[in-house]
A and B are shown apart, each in its own frame.
Chain A
Amino acid sequence: MAATILKQGSVLIASIQAALSDRELIELRDAFAERVGRFRSRGVIVDVTALDVLDSFATRTLRDIAYTAKLRGATAVVVGIQPDVAFAMVQLGLSLDGILTALDLEEGMSLLSGIEEDRRRAR
């Protein structure tokens, strides 16, 4: 599989290195759903820096991953969408409404730790 899921503390990180086929995307989604529960993760990051295309199916799968993660108690962040990809997506009317986005992996991590901080303080 062109995407591996890494565990970094309470966060799961999937870095997509090459264009994924529809089947690989579904595998990634299922793997995430299973591991979020297994590792009791609080955050999920999908890094798409290497992708130069995000089509409607990929966008939908990213959305599915985010919602599934949310149902299992984790916050999902999509990071590394490139300028060209972002522009193409809005032209095609694709959006990631209700899903957090960040510039890159580093930003995504700090975004998640900020959310975790807020949560702890609220408790």
Chain B
Amino acid sequence: MSDEQQQNAAVLLAREMGLTDAAIERRQKIVGLEPADLVRIAAIRDIVLPRAEAYTDGFFGHLSSLEEARTLLSSKPLLGKARQLKAEHLAALVSGEYGSRYVLQRIQLGLLYAAARLDTRVFLGAFHHLLHDIGADIIRHSTGDADERFEQFMSLKKVAFFDIGIIVDVLVFERERVIRQQQEAIRELSTPVLQIRDRLLLLPIIGVIDTHRARLITESLLVAIRENRAKAVVMDVTGVAAIDSKVANHIMQTVSAARLMGAAVIVTGISSAVAQSLVALGIEMTKMTTVGDLQGGLEEAEQMLGLRVVSDGDALKFEAR
């Protein structure tokens, strides 16, 4: 990935994570960053800047001693980029500017860690090591009394914790991305509306029905009813493991919406366990047509539409073909 692409990815992610200027300001407030801190950080700038190279070495030196960071360390391009970003980070850390530009740099570094599958705890360990190095130098070389030096270090630590907040969020967000993509895929895949006869639709429902999915199912069914001019719909819930009052309500809403468009809905595949729990919950589904299994539902629907399936009485013909 080129530099520009990486920057674009960071901008995109900042938007996805909702890191607006207001959110960044809020994060600064959370760590307690104040104007007085900026003054103290300015005072230690000349201590940190010349040693940036050494700190970077220390950071990656610590990582190289850890088995968990091998992916990052073993990839030359990743490591090179990470070192470059880390050096930029150290310069920015004492710059006194912690706005959107700074946050974008942090996100870029976070994305790189995510790409190298660096765990949060490994990152935290290395970061702590880095802070220790900087802190030791501040205590050793800074002007002012011991209290002042401690305060200088604490001011820097506020920025450091601000950084940690962003990096950890990026790492978690990236890890959850896979989950979000899978959820999206499940949602898209699992609401097919199939036409199986002229004016007869089949709606197989598999998995968990939540409010969002129920809405998608209903919407796609209604659109399909209009497009296919359907008069009957067989909704098969064999694949729905549990039906509680909420899910039952969703199903009933779908049925009534389809009815408003002039299509009759037959619900099939309510297992004995589900039926018993519906009865135990006192959920009445009396307004709906229900048939035991999918086959029965299809037969019922065919009858409704005036269709008749006739066997030609020669089952062997199929084999001969």
Contacts and interface: CB of A to CB of B under 8 A. Distances in A.
Partners in one complex: yes
A84 B262 CA distance: 14
B195 interface: no
A89 interface: yes
Which of A81, A87, A95 counts the most B-chain CB atoms under 10 A from its CB?
A: A87
Contact of B260 (A96, A107, A108, A111): A96
A91 B287 CA distance: 17
A95 B262 CA distance: 13
B258 to A, nearest CB: 8
A83 B253 contact: no
A90 B250 CA distance: 10
Interface in B243-269: 253-254, 256-263
Given A103-B225, A103-B226, A79 B262 contact: yes
B229 A103 contact: yes
B253 A81 contact: no
Contact of A83 (B215, B222, B256): B222
Interface of B: 215, 218-219, 222-223, 225-226, 229-231, 253-254, 256-263, 287
Contacts of A82: 226
Contacts of B218: 87, 90
Contacts of B257: 83, 86-87, 89-90
Shortest 9 CB-CB contacts between residues of A and residues of B: A83-B222, A102-B262, A86-B260, A86-B257, A90-B253, A103-B262, A101-B262, A90-B257, A81-B260
Contacts of A101: 259-262
A34 to B, nearest CB: 27
Contacts of B231: 103, 107
A103 B256 contact: no
A83 B229 CA distance: 12
B2 to A, nearest CB: 45
Given A103-B226, A103-B229, A87 B262 contact: no
Given A103-B263, A107-B229, 9 more contacts: A78-B260, A86-B222, A86-B261, A87-B219, A95-B260, A97-B287, A103-B229, A103-B262, A111-B262
10 contacts: A79-B262, A81-B261, A81-B262, A89-B256, A95-B256, A95-B260, A103-B229, A103-B263, A107-B262, A108-B262
Which of A85, A95, A103 counts the most B-chain CB atoms under 10 A from its CB?
A: A103
A103 B222 CA distance: 11
Interface in A75-123: 78-79, 81-87, 89-91, 95-97, 101-103, 107-108, 111
A99 to B, nearest CB: 9
Contacts of B223: 83
A103 B229 CA distance: 7
Contact of B225 (A79, A83, A111): A83
A52 B258 CA distance: 16
A85 B256 CA distance: 12
Given A90-B256, A90-B257, A95-B256, A83 B226 contact: yes
Nearest to A83: B222
Nearest to B249: A90
Contacts of A83: 219, 222-223, 225-226, 257, 261
A95 to B, nearest CB: 6
Nearest to A91: B253
